[in-house]
Structures are given as structure tokens and as C-alpha cells.
Structure 1
Amino acid sequence: MKLAALVAGETSGDLLAGLLLDGLKQQWPTLSTAGIGGPQMAKRGFQAWWAHDTLSVHGFGWEVLRRYREIVGIRRQLKERLLQHHPDIFIGVDAPDFNLDLEADLKAQGIKTVHFVCPSIWAWRPERVEKIKRSVDHVLCIFPFEPELLARHGIAATYVGHPLANVIPLQPDRVAARAKLGLTTNDPVVAILPGSRESEIRHLALRFFQAAALIKQAQSATKFIVPAIPSLRQKIEAAARASGLGDDVLQVIDGQSHTVLAACDVTLIASGTATLEAALFKRPMVIAYRMGAVSWRIMRRKKLQPWVGLPNILCRDFVVPELLQDVATPQALAQEVLCWLGAINSEPEKIAALEQRFTALHHELQRDTPKLAAHAIAQLLQN
């Protein structure tokens, strides 16, 4: 194989694609890679024709429509460029709304297509399964139950494990993480992760910081730390100031989300991939999410499971609380965080049980993802 084209949207997709590129480069050392990607992919020699965050869209209503023309234009230009270069394989990393249509067009022109991360047809939008079947030659799955589900619909798939399970240690070093962040071992620490998209910051950040202010009133020794995406830092700091939190209480840093999750006692966190990271760090958490009213009504109608947060979906139980949309008030968020903080001292068995669930989950997701993914792609190309 000489050329592989990839498209990864958002920070999580960039991370997954970067790990995938490790496997591809080991299998094909002289491989050239290009398409849409971010800094993790660039570290592996990836040539980004567009930056990964150009695909960052949130919701369904106006929030999507206002960027629809731009994104469709990028997809059209990318398709033309790929048909001109005719890569040996195209790999769409997550971003199914963008990638599946592109994959269908490329597959129709004889280009092998792979989708890395099975769209969540088991959680919502099951109608996507026919589109997946039409668009891709193979799906690389990060959760163990997905290949069997896809096989029922005649879609070839391979379970490759979740890359994060190998990045995050089974036993995180909390002492070292706290030392790196200037925290003592006795500080009660709450990590606040309001999301990686501008729209998530708009919908969640102020509520999260208002909840932090209430937690501070109840437990004055509590410290709060926010690992911010640098491009969103100003908006996050503005929301923190609006809530009345000062620099002596709240620490905003650029990135280092894994260090922050290793260091904290509890995290108040937006639903998404970060919740799985928090579970792999064995951290108690309160999951929240808010979106525009139209988007919320559409999502609620299409939802197939009682859970939204990945830790709960994978454990098939409400092992951590979820507060969604109007229920995600500062008061309710604060109360749930305080319950976890109280349990750390008064109910150690509750914390230990949660850590055991998350440790079992960690083992289940731990595979040699780059090697398994590259092998599946090699098999596809041979066939």
C-alpha cells in the first residue's frame, strides 16, 4: 500500500486516528497519508489538507444548518481530490455524518473503504445500518459487542479494542499527577470538563461553574481544575468569571486532561469520549449534557437506550449519575458531585465498587488496537 486517505473530525477522532497511523506505519513503513486531520496525526507524518476542527458541528437544528454549505463544500472538494489521487484505501475515523456519504461515493468508484468506530446504531439512529452497509467494506469496532451486531446486517467488522485503554494506565499515579498540578494529596479536587466544542461550552460551562460555586459554599476546601482546549480557553475563563469563581479556587490549564483526571477525586463532565477516559482513570463522575431545544427533541425521539454516558452504556447500568438538558441545573449538578465527595470519606465501599467496575471495563477494552486494525486492513486489501 502506497497511499491511505483518512478523515478525522474533532479532538477525539484525531487521537484515535493517530494511534491507527502507528499500526499502518508499522505494517507499511513507506506509507503516505493525507486528508483531514489534527496534531496527533501530524506527528505521524500525516498531510492535512484541512484541519480536523473544520468538521466540528454540534446538534441538529440551526447549529448544523449555518455550517452546512461550508462542510458540504469541503466534502465535495475532498472527494474530487481523492478520486484524482485514488488512494489504496480510505479510512473514515468517526464523524459518520461526514464520512459515510463520502465513503459511499468512493466505494462506488472502486476505492476500498473502512470506517473506524462503529456509529452508535445500538444507542440511537438504527436506520444508519443500511447506510453503513452501502458505504463501507469493513468496520473497525472499539466495543466488543459491535461486530456481532453488524454481522446480523451483513457488514464485515473487527473488534480492535479501544485505543484509550492502552494509553491510560490500569493504575493511574494520582500522587504524581497532583504534584505536577501543584496540588497536595489532601486537597479535595473536582475536575471540570465542559466539553471540547464551542457549542458545548456555550450550553454547559456556566452551569458547571455555577455548580462549582455551590460546591465551594458547601465544602470550602474544594479546589477545581479545568483542562481547556487552548482555542476555547477565553470562553471558559469568561464563564468562570461570570459564575463568581476566582483564580484562587479555579485553575484553568491548557490541555493535560489525562493528568487532571488522574489527579481529581470527582469529575463534572460533559457526555462524550471524555467520560470513558474518566472511567478508565477509575474516577467517580457526574455526567451532564445540554443542547439546543430542537436538537434535544430529535435526539430524545431517536434514543434507544436509557443511558447516554459511555460508562453507563458499557456497564449496562447507571453506575454514575446523568443529568441531561433541563435537569442539568447548577443545584442538581452540585448535589451529585457533593454526594461523591461525601462517599469518598463515608462510603469507601461505594467508591471501591465503582473502581472495580471500571477496572473490569478497562481489561475488556484493552487490546493491541494499532496492530489489530492494521491486520484487518491488510486482510481487506488482500481480498
Structure 2
Amino acid sequence: MVAGEASGDLLAGLLLDGMRARWPDLRAGGIGGPDMARRGFEAWWPHDKLAVRGYVEVLRHYREIVGIRKQLQQRLLRERPEVFIGVDAPDFNLDLEAGLKAQGVKTVHFVCPSIWAWRPGRTEHIRRSADHVLCLFPFEPALLAQHGIAATYVGHPLANVIPMSPDRGAARRALGLPEEGEVLAILPGSRGSEVRYLARVFFEAAARVRQARPGIRCIVPAMPALRPAIEEAARAAGLGEGLTIVTGRSHEVLAACDLTLIASGTATLEAALYKRPMVIAYRMNWLTFQIMRRQQLQPWIGLPNILCGDFVVPELVQDRANPDTLAAALLEWLRAPDRMAAVQQRFTALHHLLQRDTASLATDAIQNLLES
């Protein structure tokens, strides 16, 4: 297995639970993170080696990433596993899967690349690379079938992990937050490049929100490796008093908050499943942004908006993701409780749509592939 970042590590860990229930003697190794390691996964490289987003950013790490993929492919062709499962990270995994499939190793890709959002030309790459695709969203298998790609809708595993009615009070007690009063969660991303582009902007926006609503508390879940950079960004933005930084615990933070300022990515879906209103933002290298914008097929970048087919929450990208506009969008939510309640109902319906026995359905599909 290969999972290339924190969200992939979480998905792969849940999949490993289902596979171990089916095959207790399962041996699994490759590239992964702490959630996979807790399931007995043997990580030959840590998952954060692949946690790079954007064309320009990847170029800086290109030689190392290609070297890892070459070494991994050579090892897998020597050891001949029953199946290789690439978890998301399509730019790394699809090429690896193509090389393995060509040599007779069965390949599964878990998380359909978002061909419905951008880069539709990847369909041929997927067909050449994956014997089977495990899809998180219900409309994806029919889309892949049009291109001759076998796929199964397995639901989104986070929809089973996250409770339908989160306990805000319990989460606040666990985090040491007061049970009364407004709480803003700040999630500037799980990659170093995201924190570099977003953290200070997010904290400066939060400082403006606190000027307008002095009683609001701010909380940030930080990955251990990124915590020093996040702390420095908070200091630089002058956001000290009323700010809590915790290591990890992003789900507790989302359960505890009233509202979140959040980087575009899987975390936005987690926030939606916690029924939290949000402002989605993203900034990146200018050249990367220009390239990606030209390949975008839909008007939305945030998963909650894509899945709802509407701008149910604001999206502010690149130059529009500045402290003033972000703060204004956050304050609009806080001043409109009826609007907050309406989006929570929308997210409850989305949660029901995505809730399936993901681990069992995915394991069934893998077993069918192995027996075919």
C-alpha cells in the first residue's frame, strides 16, 4: 500500500481494519503513516515524503520522489504481493500501478481521482494503471464505466467514523475549552507548503474576527512536524491570547467549534460531516495556480460545495484569500444563526448519502478481484 499524506493514512488505516477482519494473517507494507502503523503496517518510507501539492512544489522534490517510486517498484516486483493498493496520491500511485499491472501484479486505486473536477484526460491513465477503483462518492463508478474502468462505490469511511450528531460539549471539555461562547477552528492545512502560504493569513483574519467579537476563542490542530511553523505564524500575526494550539486532535477540534476557517482539501469534508459552517480558502505558488485554474472543470474547489453542487459555503482562493475578506466571510456566518442552521441540515443529508460499510464493501471488491 501507498498512502501519501495524513488523509490517505486515515483512509488506509480504516481499509486495513476491514482487510484484517477478512484475512487475519494479512501482511502489509509500503509507504504509510501512524494510523496505518497502528494496524501493524510496515512503513518502508514515511508518508510525509509524498505530502507535496502543486506543480512547482513537486518539481523541488521531483528527484527524491521519483527515486522512492523506482525503489518501491523494484521491491514490489521482487516480492510479488497479491495486490497493490494505492490510496489517493494519484500523481505518485498511478504511474507505480501502471508499472506493476504491466508485470502481472493486481492493482487497486482507492479514491477516484477527481476527473469530474479537473484533468479529465487522466481517465486513460487510470484505465492503464488500476484493475479496480474504490470510489468514495456515488456518481463516480458510472463515470468510470464510460471509460471501461471497473469501479465500486464504497461510501466515505469518514461518514462512519464521525458521529451524525457530534457532542460539542464533550469535545470542548476534552480540549479544555469553555462550554459556553463562540469557538473558531483554524485549519491551515496538513502540508508544509500549505502552512507556509496560509497560516499567517488565517491568523490575521482570526485577529480581525476577535476585534469584532472579543469573546471568541480560537483553536488550531497542528501536526507535530508543523507545530513550530504554526506557532511562529500565530506570533507574527499577533494572535496570542484566546488561542489554543493542540497537537493533532483535528476531529475533536471540529466537534468543539461553531465555525471553521479551513484549507481546501479532505478536511473540508470532515468539517461538513461534523455539520460545521466554514470558510474554505487556498493559496499556492502563482504558477501552480495558473496551471490548475486552466484545467478546472467546475466552479467549486471545496468538497462540500462539489458534492452539494452549489456554493453552500464561501470559497476564497489566491488573492481573495486575504485577512479582510476571510474575516468578513467568517463574521457573516456568526451574524446569521439561521444560515448556520440551514447549512447544518444540508450537511446532515450529505452525511447520510456517504454513510456505507466502507471497509467491508472495499474488502469485498478486493476479494472479488483476487478471485477473478
| Bin for the TM-score computed over the shorter chain | over 0.9
Q: How far apart are residue 342 of structure 1 and its match? A: 1.1
Counterpart residue identity of residue 323, structure 1: L
The Cα of 1:289 is off from its aligned counterpart by 0.2
Matches for 1:70-149 after TM superposition, within 5 Å: 70-149=64-143
What is the SS of the residue equivalent to 2:149? coil
Partner Cα distance (1:282, 1:56) in 2: 27
> d(CA) in 1 for partners of 2:71 and 2:147?
32
- Work out the CA distance in 2 between the residues paired with 1:258 and 1:382: 37
| Residue 368 (structure 2) pairs with residue 379 (structure 1) | yes
Matches of 2:207 and 2:17 in 1, distance apart?
A: 43
**What is the alpha-carbon distance in structure 2 between the residues aligned to residue 329 and residue 82 of structure 1?**
46
Q: How far is 1:66 from its partner?
A: 1.4
* Residue 364 (structure 1) aligned with residue 316 (structure 2): no
Provide the C-alpha distance between the structure 2 equivalents of 1:50 and 1:322, rounded to a whole number of angstroms.
35
**Deviation at 1:352?**
2.1
Secondary structure of 1:32's aligned partner = coil
Q: Distance in 2 between matches of 1:188 and 1:267?
A: 11
Matched residue, 1:168: 162
Paired with 1:72 and 1:108, the residues of 2 have a C-alpha distance of 18
The question of 1:251 aligning with 2:247 is answered no
Residue 271 of structure 1 is matched in structure 2 by 264
**AA paired with 1:255?**
G
Cα distance in structure 1, aligned partners of 2:141 and 2:310: 22
- Say whether 1:204 aligns with 2:193: no
SS in 1 for 2:336: helix
Amino acid at match of 1:35: G
Question: Is 1:326 the counterpart of 2:319 in the alignment?
Answer: yes
Alignment of 1:310-321 (within 5 A): 310-321=303-314
Offset from partner CA, 1:329-360 (integer Å, 9 cap, x none): 1000000001111112xxx2x22211111001
Please give the alpha-carbon distance, in whole angstroms, between the structure 2 residues aligned to 1:163 and 1:211: 32
CA distance in structure 1 between the aligned counterparts of 2:87 and 2:58, rounded to whole angstroms: 20
In structure 2, the residue matched to 1:10 is: 5
| Aligned-pair CA distance for 1:185 | 2.6
Structure 2 letter corresponding to 1:364: L
How many Å separate the matches in 2 of 1:130 and 1:244? 49
1:33 & 1:98 partners in 2: Cα distance? 19
| Offset at residue 26 of structure 1 (A) | 1.2
Q: Distance in 2 between matches of 1:328 and 1:317?
A: 20
* Alignment partner, residue 28 of structure 2: 33
Q: Is 1:49 matched up with 2:44? A: yes
Tell me the SS of whatever aligns to 2:335. helix
**Take 1:154 and 1:239, find their aligned partners in 2: how far apart are those partners?**
48
Structure 2 partner of 1:195: 189
**1:26-72 per-position Cα deviation (integer Å, ceiling 9, x unaligned):** 111111111111111111111111111111112112x1111100000
Task: Name the counterpart of 1:290.
Answer: 283
1:229 aligns to 2:223 (yes or no): yes
| Aligned counterpart, 1:69 | 63
> C-alpha offsets along residues 172-208 of structure 1, whole Å, 9 cap, x if unaligned?
0001111112222322110000000000001000100
Aligned match of 1:59:
54
1:352 corresponds to which of 335, 341, 364: 341
State the alpha-carbon separation in 2 of the partners of residues 226 and 343 from structure 1.
24
In the other structure, the counterpart of 1:3 is none
Superposition TM-score, scaled by structure 1 size = 0.96
CA RMSD of aligned residues (A): 0.7
SS of the counterpart of 1:91?
strand
Q: Counterparts of 1:238 and 1:24 in 2: how far apart (Å)?
A: 41
Q: Deviations over 1:102-139 (max 9, x none)?
A: 00000000000000000000000000000000011000
Q: Which amino acid aligns with 1:66?
A: R
**For the residues of structure 2 that align with 1:174 and 1:245, how far apart are their CA atoms?**
24
**What secondary structure does 1:269 align onto?**
strand
* Percent identical: 69
Q: Secondary structure at the match of 1:84?
A: helix
Question: How much has 1:376 moved relative to structure 2?
Answer: 0.3
* Structure 2: gaps of 5 or more residues: none
Which residue identity is paired with 1:90? F
* 2:296 equivalent in structure 1: 303
User: How far, CA to CA, are the matches of 1:236 and 1:183 in structure 2?
Assistant: 20
| d(CA) in 2 for partners of 1:298, 1:286 | 24
Aligned residue in 1 for 2:15 = 20
Q: How many residues align?
A: 372
Q: 2:65 is paired with a residue of what secondary structure?
A: helix
Amino acid in structure 1 at the alignment position of 2:103: Q
Q: 3-state DSSP class of the match of 2:228?
A: helix
Q: Structure 1 CA distance, aligned partners of 2:117 and 2:147?
A: 16
